[in-house]
Structure 1
Amino acid sequence: MSWTPDYPRTVPERRPPGHRPRAPRWTLGFDAPLSLVTSDYLALQCAGPDDPAVGPFLERVRACHTGRDGADAPEAWELLAFTDEAGRHNLVHLGYWRDATAHARWLATAPLPRWFAELDAAAVPFGAWHEVVQVPLDRVETIYSDPRRAFGLAACPGTRRESMTVNGYFGAARDRLPVSAIDPLEAAGPHRRRARPAASEGRRLRAECGHNTAVIRSGQYWQNAEGEQLADYTEALEPKLMAGMAHLREAADAEGTLSLRVMTSLDRETLRPLRETSVLGHFHTLASLEGWAAGHATHAAIYEHAIAKNRQYGEARTVVTWHEVFVLPRTAAFAYVNCHPATGILPYATSVLAVEPDDPAADSPAVYGG
C-alpha cells in the first residue's frame, strides 16, 4: 500500500487523453504515512579542496553519523562538491529525513549544524550556507529511469520505486504532485532580481524565497557505464545537459531561475569524484521550470536523446537519470554566513535579514509555514 496523498481533482490535469508513455518510468512510494519530508543542504564555501577549513568541516560531518551524535542522523546522506559562480569550492553535506522531529533534534544537537549556528561571520576566513527544504508529502514528486538503484530521497528506508504512467508529456511533473489536483501552485509575486546585491560577506544572513518556489534536484548516474554507453554520455548527453544548465543561468531573469548548481557526488570515505552529478535548481515557480522544459531547444535536445537511448538499450541502459521536485509552501528561509553575494538565492531573495550568531533566529535555517 502506498501512502502518497490522493485528492479529488479540481484543477485539470495536463495528461493528454489516451496518453501512453514512450518509455517506462518509476516514482517513489512510501510504506507509512508521514507529515513532512526534509532535504538538508549544509555547505562549506572556501578557496579549494585543500583549504584548511575542509578538514574540520569533514570531522563534524563524520561525527554526525557516529556514536551518540548520530542518534538523529539523516536516514540517507551524501557528500557533494561544486565550483560556484565566484570560483569558490563548495563542499556539501546533504541529508534526508522522513521524520521532521528527528531533523529538528539534529539541528539542535549535532556537531555540524551547531558549528554552523555558532560561526562568527566577521571572523571566519571562509563561507558557509544552510538550505533546508521541508515540505508535506503532497508537495513532492519524483521520477527515475531505472528502479534498481536508490537516489536522493529514495535512499531512505521505508520507500520503494513504483512503476507509473504519469510521464512522457509536458506537465507530467505537475500532475505527479498530489497537491496540484487542488492547487494551481501560482506565485505570490513577480520574479525579480534584487536592485542591489546583498551585502553578505562578513555577515550572517537569512534569505527568504517566495510562496510556491520550486526546488529540483535532477541526477545523472553513469558509474557503471562502459564503452559505447560511456562515450555516448560524455560526448553527447552531458554536453547537451550542460548547455541547458548554462542557458538557465544566463537567462535567469527570463527563465525564473533563482539558483542553479551542478554538483558532483563524492565517495564518502576517499572524497574521490564519482561518475554521478546532480543539478540543484531553485525556480520562481513550477511554471518557470515547465516553461523551459516545454519550450526551449536545450531541454528538447536532452529529452529526445534520453528517450532514444532508453529505446536503444532498454534494461541494458547503464546511464540512469532521475529527479525529485519540492514545491515550497509559503516562505522558506535559508542561511548564509560570510558568503559571496551570488550564493544561492541571494540575488533573488524576497527578503534578506542580517542576524547575529546568538540570535535564536540564527539556529533555524529554514522555517516551514513561517
Structure 2
Amino acid sequence: MESAIPPHLETKRSRHKRVPDDYQPPYPSFVARYKPAVSRVVMAYFGVQYRGATPAAATDALARIAKRFAAADGPAHWDRAHYVDHAGFANVVSVAYWDDVARFDAWFAPARDDWTGKADEGIGTFIEVLRPSVERHETLFSSLGRPEGVAVIADGMSGDVQEHAYWGGMRDRIPLSQTSEMAPGGKAELVRDGARLRVKANDNLCLIRSGQDWSDTEASERELYLGDVEPVLREGMDFLRDDGVAIGCYANRYMRVLGADGTPTEKSYGQSWWKSLAALERWAESHPTHVKIFGAAMKYLSTLGPSAKLRLYHEVTVAAADEQFFEYLNCHPKTGMLTAVETVSA
C-alpha cells in the first residue's frame, strides 16, 4: 500500500496523521500522480451567466473560449458544466487545467481581456483561477481507468493508498499538512477596475471539486443511485448553495457536466469555495446535510459491494493568497467569491 503523498514530497512531520501507521482502509482508493518535475498546476474556471433562454452572446462567448482552449499554450484538459444558481441565473462554467504555469501565463492575458474585458449585453462573465503548488493539493478516486478534472493532466494514478476512508484523510493527503495547519489568514477585499470586480480572498482559501459518474451503471444500480442517493446529495448541495456562508462556504455549485455537443451527460460535480479546509472538514464530519449524504452513500455501497459501477472522485486545494485570481463582470453580487466580500462588509 502506498502513501497518498508521493516520495519526493514527503518530509519530516511536525503534525501527525489522524490514523496510526498500520491503518488498513476497508476498500481501495487511488490518487493522481504528477511527474516529479511538475511543481504547480493551474485550474481556471471561466463562467458565463444569464437569466432565461440562452442569449446569443452566451453562445458566442462559449465558442470563443473553446477556440482559445485549442490554441497555442492552451490547457492540457478542459470540461464544461451547467447549473442554476440561488438567484435563478443559469451559469455555464468551462474549467481548464495546466501543469505548466509559464504556458498558462502566456495564454491567459488575451483570454482574460476577451472574457472580462468588455461587457456583452444580457450576460455576465467571471474568471476564478487557482495555481497551487502541488504541496497544497490532493485528489482521490474510487476506481482506476477514467481520470477526471485535474487528474487528466497527471502522469498516471497511484496504487491503493492508505490515507482515506476516515475523517481527516482529506487533510492527510495534502503534502503541506505534514508541517502546516493551513489556517486561514486575512480578510477578503474588493478591487474595482472599471466595470471589473476583483476579489482578493483570504490566505489558505479552500476549493473542492467532488464528482459523480453514473454512466457505467446498469438499470438497478442506476435506479438506486438516482432514487436514493442523488436526491440526498442535491439536498446537501442546495444547503451549501443557499445557506453555506454561515458555516464558511462562500459559494457552492452543483453542476451537470455537458458533452461536446452541449447536452447533459451522466456526470455531475459539486464545486465550492471555503474559507478554510477546517470549515470544509467540519461540514463533512458533523453537519446533518453531509451526515445524511454519507449515510446514503454507505448504504448504497454496502448494498452493491464490489459490483458498484458508480465512479466517485474529488480534488481539494488549499491556496495561498498569491495563488488566487477572481474577477467578475456584470455578474449578480452573490456570484462565486463576491459573496466573500459581501460577508466581510456585512
TM over 0.5: yes
Match of 1:64, SS?
helix
Q: Look up the match of 2:10.
A: 6
Structure 2 Cα separation of the partners of residues 4 and 273 of structure 1: 40
How far did 1:28 drift?
A: 1.1
Once the two structures are superposed, the pairs formed by residues 56-67 of structure 1 within 5 Å of their partners are: 56-66=60-70
The one of 220, 223, 247 equivalent to 2:215 is 223
C-alpha contact (below 8 Å) 1:37/1:99 kept by paired residues: yes
Q: Root-mean-square deviation (CA), in Å?
A: 2.5
- The answer to whether the aligner puts 1:327 opposite 2:327 as a matched pair is no
Once the two structures are superposed, the pairs formed by residues 155-194 of structure 1 within 5 Å of their partners are: 155-156=152-153, 158-189=155-186
Q: Look up the match of 1:33.
A: 37
C-alpha contact (below 8 Å) 1:208/1:351 kept by paired residues: no
Structure 2 Cα separation of the partners of residues 3 and 9 of structure 1: 13
How far did 1:157 drift?
A: 5.0
Structure 1 Cα separation of the partners of residues 116 and 292 of structure 2: 43
Structure 1 Cα separation of the partners of residues 118 and 7 of structure 2: 40
Once the two structures are superposed, the pairs formed by residues 122-271 of structure 1 within 5 Å of their partners are: 124-156=121-153, 158-189=155-186, 203-268=195-260, 270-271=261-262
Distance 1:107 1:62, change over 3 A: same
Once the two structures are superposed, the pairs formed by residues 297-312 of structure 1 within 5 Å of their partners are: 297-312=288-303
Q: Look up the match of 1:115.
A: 114
- Matched residues, percent identical? 29
C-alpha contact (below 8 Å) 1:29/1:162 kept by paired residues: no
Match of 1:348, SS?
helix
| Alignment-mate amino acid for residue 19 of structure 2 | R
| Alignment-mate amino acid for residue 135 of structure 2 | D
Structure 2 Cα separation of the partners of residues 272 and 3 of structure 1: 41
How far did 1:5 drift?
A: 1.4
| Alignment-mate amino acid for residue 295 of structure 1 | S
How far did 1:146 drift?
A: 1.1
The alignment's TM-score, normalised by the length of structure 1, stands at 0.84
| Alignment-mate amino acid for residue 41 of structure 1 | Y
Equivalences, count: 338
Unaligned runs of at least 5 residues, structure 2: none
Q: Look up the match of 2:106.
A: 105
C-alpha contact (below 8 Å) 1:23/1:310 kept by paired residues: no
Structure 2 Cα separation of the partners of residues 351 and 105 of structure 1: 34
How far did 1:17 drift?
A: 6.2
Structure 2 Cα separation of the partners of residues 209 and 341 of structure 1: 15
Q: Look up the match of 1:279.
A: 270
C-alpha contact (below 8 Å) 2:206/2:273 kept by paired residues: yes
C-alpha contact (below 8 Å) 1:3/1:31 kept by paired residues: no
The one of 294, 300, 309 equivalent to 1:318 is 309
How far did 1:350 drift?
A: 8.4
Structure 1 Cα separation of the partners of residues 286 and 339 of structure 2: 25
C-alpha contact (below 8 Å) 2:240/2:251 kept by paired residues: no
**Which deviates more from structure 2 when the two are superposed, residues 236-245 or residues 320-329?**
236-245
**Which deviates more from structure 2 when the two are superposed, residues 231-240 or residues 23-32?**
23-32
The alignment's TM-score, normalised by the length of structure 2, stands at 0.90
How far did 1:271 drift?
A: 0.5
| Alignment-mate amino acid for residue 107 of structure 2 | W
Match of 1:349, SS?
helix
In terms of fraction of residues, the more helix-rich structure is 2
How far did 1:65 drift?
A: 4.0
How far did 1:88 drift?
A: 1.1
How far did 1:311 drift?
A: 4.0
Structure 2 Cα separation of the partners of residues 160 and 16 of structure 1: 24
- Please list the CA deviations of residues 332-370 of structure 1 after superposition, one character each: whole Å capped at 9, or x if unmatched: 230000110010011213899xxxxxxxxxxxxxxxxxx
Structure 2 Cα separation of the partners of residues 249 and 62 of structure 1: 27
C-alpha contact (below 8 Å) 2:136/2:176 kept by paired residues: yes
| Alignment-mate amino acid for residue 125 of structure 2 | A
How far did 1:16 drift?
A: 4.7
Structure 2 Cα separation of the partners of residues 295 and 50 of structure 1: 39
C-alpha contact (below 8 Å) 2:248/2:275 kept by paired residues: yes
**Which deviates more from structure 2 when the two are superposed, residues 311-320 or residues 96-105?**
311-320
Unaligned runs of at least 5 residues, structure 1: 353-370
Structure 1 Cα separation of the partners of residues 241 and 48 of structure 2: 22
| Alignment-mate amino acid for residue 104 of structure 2 | H
**Which deviates more from structure 2 when the two are superposed, residues 234-243 or residues 281-290?**
234-243
Distance 1:128 1:173, change over 3 A: same
Structure 1 Cα separation of the partners of residues 184 and 58 of structure 2: 38
- Please list the CA deviations of residues 51-109 of structure 1 after superposition, one character each: whole Å capped at 9, or x if unmatched: 1112211321332244xxx2211111101111112211111111011111111111134
How far did 1:148 drift?
A: 1.9
Structure 1 Cα separation of the partners of residues 153 and 306 of structure 2: 24
How far did 1:114 drift?
A: 3.5
**Which deviates more from structure 2 when the two are superposed, residues 221-230 or residues 277-286?**
221-230
How far did 1:254 drift?
A: 3.0
Match of 2:321, SS?
coil
Structure 2 Cα separation of the partners of residues 150 and 188 of structure 1: 33
